[in-house]
Structure 1
Amino acid sequence: MTKSILTRRQLIRFGALGASSLALGGCEQFDLLGIRNSNVRNFVEKANDLTYYVQRFLIGDALAREYPESEIRQPQRPNGSTNPQTPEYLALKAADFSGYRLSVSGLVETPKSYSLSELRNMPSRTQITRHDCVEGWSCIAKWTGTPLSVVLDEVKLKPAARYLVFHCYDTMGSGRGGPAHYYESCDLADAWHPQTILAYGLNDQVLPVSNGAPIRVRIERQLGYKQPKYLRAIEAVSSFADIGRGKGGYWEDRGYEWYAGI
């Protein structure tokens, strides 16, 4: 990206956008932003919407920067969930994921279910990119996987579809309703982007459990929490209203920004 194109961090440097960035930049939930009917929260969310539309206008279909192999100087750092303990995932892991199936459903013409071997035998893409974490660290790694667009071509999205929701095997804490499964989402611009892949390989090796095996979504123009691990299912939807707390992701439900473009 050239210097003439503003980065997201430059866009949110001013006024309320800057306040939003500071409030959502860490990994703890801020009480004020956690109040659903808070006027401050509503104002910040509108500011985040502006960031999204301006960023989309500026970057269009631009690619995230890719690096030479010489820039891979350390293993991809695991963080967040690194070894899910749900019975379903443990059973899959014990069988080396031979029974894994990725379902793709929702607002699609042809719902499908893919085994890991089927995904590995589809057209693939390898890219060396930088993972930027909301915590402030980054890491360059080589990712190999099936372009998400290949899967979307097969299932054929219906006109009402606006987003893809990624449902995962890992859980994050618990509440009155039991353990909360991690989930994330993206719009169709990122879903069709050539660098958005269903990754099954990392640095020329099989994707390890600590980094999201058997499948991790790579959305290279977004921060790390937008790239969910331990993928279980993909659902095409028109809105997030009936999913989680309605904000489009586990962390978004707890105050983070839905659009985390970089």
Structure 2
Amino acid sequence: MRTDPERRSFLKRSAALAGTLALGGCDRLSEAPWFRQILESAESATSRAQRFLLGSGPLAREYTESDLSPVFRANGSASIDDFDYQALAEKGFVDWRLQVDGLVERPQQLSLAELRAMPPRTQITRHDCVEGWSCIGKWTGVPLAHVLEQAGVQARARYVVFRCADALEPEAGGNGQYYESIGFEDAYHPQTILAYDMNGHPLPIPHGAPLRLRVERQLGYKMAKYVMRIELVESLAGIGLGRGGFWEDRGYEWYAGI
């Protein structure tokens, strides 16, 4: 059986990362200057190579209903130990609001019903986890570009930052609250959506209810779950450790293209 080029690339990068981390553990390596330099150089090379080969517009491969994985694993957090989040979940997220602010002309407070009323996009895509597994799922949501256009992005904005409800270990970069960020090439890509449905049903809590990011041309840790706030910024400096995401602050690449 032949392996498609995207899958080969993903397996090579996962194997390389796993081999490197095995030398001394994620946390210790992520603090070493030489290790950060290796990651940064690899990130730059990967980004340049993909942009050269693919440009900014091509779509990630999409699949059919018959390709759906019978079980779709949940990456990252599978539950939220937070009173405010649990109170929202008990009411079916009717009181939840997505905050859109930062460098925008018209800050937004969007309910789940308002997001569902926006033009939707449905796509069946493969989720590739940095841990080495993949699943195919069906996602429905509003294109991020539509939300950004409604808010009116200011000219100084360069990055889209996603603030989430889940918190992990706080050792690096603040209080441990999960966050991610992407650039505008991915933010305005047609397959980058804020998903509220999975496989034809409202997004389950283990998969990020009520809203998660799907940025299909990158690895799974970029696809922030439990999104509460979207902030437009000019620089990533001053957010966490300034590397653009929870796992990036711990040594992962900011650009995780596949």
Cα deviation code 1:163-208 (max 9, x no counterpart): 1000000011234998411001111000000000000001011111
Give yes or no for contact 1:107–1:235 (8 Å, CA) kept in 2. Answer: yes
1 CA distance for matches of 2:208 and 2:35? Answer: 35
2 CA distance for matches of 1:151 and 1:235? Answer: 12
Q: How many angstroms does 1:49 deviate by? A: 1.6
Does residue 77 of structure 1 match 2:73? Answer: yes
1 CA distance for matches of 2:202 and 2:224? Answer: 17
Q: How many angstroms does 1:52 deviate by? A: 1.3
TM-score, normalised to structure 1's length? Answer: 0.88
What is the 5 A alignment of 1:42-81? 42-60=37-55, 61-81=57-77
Query: 1:137 is matched with which residue?
Result: 133
2 CA distance for matches of 1:175 and 1:226? Answer: 20
User: % of aligned pairs identical?
Assistant: 51
Corresponding letter in the other structure for 1:115: S
Query: 1:258 is matched with which residue?
Result: 254
> Number of paired residues?
254
Alpha carbons of structure 1 residues 80 and 142: separation in structure 2 relative to 1, 3 Å: same
Corresponding letter in the other structure for 1:53: R
Alpha carbons of structure 1 residues 7 and 48: separation in structure 2 relative to 1, 3 Å: same
Alpha carbons of structure 1 residues 57 and 34: separation in structure 2 relative to 1, 3 Å: same
Aligned-CA RMSD value: 2.8
Pick aligned residue for 1:171 from 167, 170, 176: 167
Query: 2:187 is matched with which residue?
Result: 191
Unaligned 5+ segments in structure 2 are: none
Unaligned 5+ segments in structure 1 are: none
Equivalent residue of 2:238, what SS? Answer: coil
Equivalent residue of 2:115, what SS? Answer: helix
Cα deviation code 1:26-66 (max 9, x no counterpart): 9x51523323xx24422431332232122122212110000
Cα deviation code 1:219-249 (max 9, x no counterpart): 0111100001000000111111110111100
Query: 1:32 is matched with which residue?
Result: 29
Out of 241-250 and 52-61, give the one that drifted further: 52-61
Give yes or no for contact 1:8–1:261 (8 Å, CA) kept in 2. Answer: no
TM-score, normalised to structure 2's length? Answer: 0.89
Corresponding letter in the other structure for 1:111: P
Deviation beyond 2 Å, 4+ runs, structure 1: 5-14, 18-26, 39-44, 173-179
2 CA distance for matches of 1:44 and 1:243? Answer: 19
Give yes or no for contact 2:170–2:176 (8 Å, CA) kept in 1. Answer: yes
